[in-house]
Amino acid sequence: MDVFIARQPIFDCRKNIYGYELLFRGNMSNSFPNVDGTTATSRLLSTAFFTVGVEKIVGDKIAFINFPEELLLSEVASVFICRNIMIEVLEDVTPSAEVNEACFKLIKDGFSLALDDFVFSEEWLPLVKVAKIIKIDFQDLERDQIRRCLERVKPYGCKLLAEKIETYDEYQQALDMGFSYFQGYFFATPEIQKHREISSSQHILLSLLTEVNKTEFEPEAIERLINQDVSISFKLLKYLNSAYFSRVARISSIKQAIVFLGSQGIRQFVSLIVVAKLSESKPDELIRSSVIRARFLEQLAENTGLENPGNCFILGLFSHIDAMLDHSMQYLMEQLPLNNAIKESLTSHKGELAIFLRAIEEYESGEWENFESIIRTLGVDPAKIPEFYLDALGWADSIS
């Protein structure tokens, strides 16, 4: 049985990754939107811990996993290693004496507890006293409601996590309120600043990008270009000799690397390194998300028979470029040497490639019904999707 897993990053105050909330569904059959939470979580736990390995999904970070009431009472968590699991008690759980007792036992066994979509009421007080994290939906509650809730839980020393933080303004509000952790796509939105110009160093990188994305180029010219930048040369050789490729013979020269990757591979790699350099002042998850999107969309495109799947790689890679450079997407697309299909998709979500961008956005958000509709339109075998995503995660790790 395939399990579809997406992950959403959770940041600390310094915008470093603290953990990932795992979003999942059991399958992509006609009935999959109706899979109950207990079944979905059970399948996720089995796949993540016994089949794939949770470290492949979240690395050394914390895995936030939703636990419906039935699973809390069944004590199923006791069979898993607890050091990297944060058990999320869902908002529709009834905090009965039985549920409280089950949660107390989990904590005694070494697990950590988070209360999801929390709204304070007296019946939750026993769990508030022992919870490590309380998650509050920033879009669901008014700011005054949030402040009142914080006052009620403040005496108990639990950390606060702001959910659905979509902009840097909301991130700053939550930070000022005393939140320690943040979940949402604020990291992928630009901090627009008036009259801010692209720096000279960024212009140089964009010039490099222009060169490698020309319709035709000479391998010798690209070799000279890469050799001029020590960091790109180092990263290229390190990448090709990483565990991802499992090579017996090491690649020791840029010329060998170009031959091994081919023109399309070199275009992609240099584009990726340039994007990474452009986002150096941003959270690491921004470039990681871009790389995952690029690899995932490339594989998706290859399975649709699209003439040039490499366009979808570039589409995913540049989908956060506005956040990296703190400019509007419209402005940046006027500066970048990308083809019109990519530009149209990124600026207006229109054109032949727009459906691919929508696919990864719906997948990352766990909007499974919308994603299913897109996959069926593209004609991709749903059974391949978990493989694509896990491969993209592994590829992103090899790059980083």
CB 360 within 8 A of CB 6: no
Q: Which helix (H) or strand (E) holds 354?
A: helix 354-365
* Closest to 159 in 3D by CA, of 22, 69, 243, 64: 64
Over its C-alpha atoms, the chain yields an Rg (Å, rounded) of 23
pLDDT classification of 26: cutoffs 50, 70, 90: low
Answer yes or no: is pLDDT of 32 > 50.
no
In a domain, 193, yes or no: no
Same domain, 79 and 224: no
Instruction: Tell me: do 324 and 365 sit in the same domain.
Output: yes
> Same structural domain for residues 225 and 272?
yes
- Tens digits of residue pLDDT in 296-351: 999 999 999 888 888 898 899 889 988 888 888 998 888 777 889 999 999 999 99
pLDDT of residue 304: 93
Tell me how far apart the alpha carbons of residues 87 and 133 are, in angstroms, rounded to a whole number.
10
Residue 271 has pLDDT above 60, yes or no: yes
When mean pLDDT is compared over 14-28, 184-198, 315-329, the highest value belongs to 315-329
What's 166's domain CATH number? 3.20.20.450
Residue 51 sits in the same domain as residue 137: yes
188, 208, 233 - which closes a domain:
188
For every residue of 43-61, DSSP letters joined together read HHHIIIIIII-HHHHHTTS
pLDDT value at 16 more than 70: yes
Predicted confidence at residue 351, as pLDDT, reads 93
Winning range, highest mean pLDDT, from 4-8, 171-175, 385-389: 171-175
- Tell me how far apart the alpha carbons of residues 209 and 123 are, in angstroms, rounded to a whole number: 58
C-alpha distance from residue 128 to each of 78, 104, 281 (Å): 21, 11, 36
Same domain, 135 and 45: yes
Domain co-membership, 260 together with 388: yes
Which of 188, 209, 243 is the last residue in one of the domains? Answer: 188
Any idea which of 13-17, 36-40, 207-211 has the lowest mean pLDDT? 36-40
* Domain CATH number, residue 334: 1.10.3210.10
Domain that holds residue 248: 200-399
Give the CA angle between residues 349, 391, 257 to the nearest 5°. Answer: 95
Chain-centroid distance, C-alpha 339 = 26
Cα 157 from Cα 10, distance rounded (Å): 20
- The per-residue pLDDT for range 134-181, each reduced to its tens digit, is 999 999 999 999 999 999 999 999 999 999 999 889 999 999 999 999
Counting the structural domains of the chain, the total is 2
Do the domain assignments include residue 194? Answer: no
User: In this structure, is the dihedral angle defined by the CA atoms of residues 173, 179, 180 and 181, taken in order, positive or negative?
Assistant: negative
Q: What percent of the chain has pLDDT over 70?
A: 83
- The rounded distance, in Å, linking the Cα atoms of 106 and 99 is 11
Together in a domain, 131 and 211: no
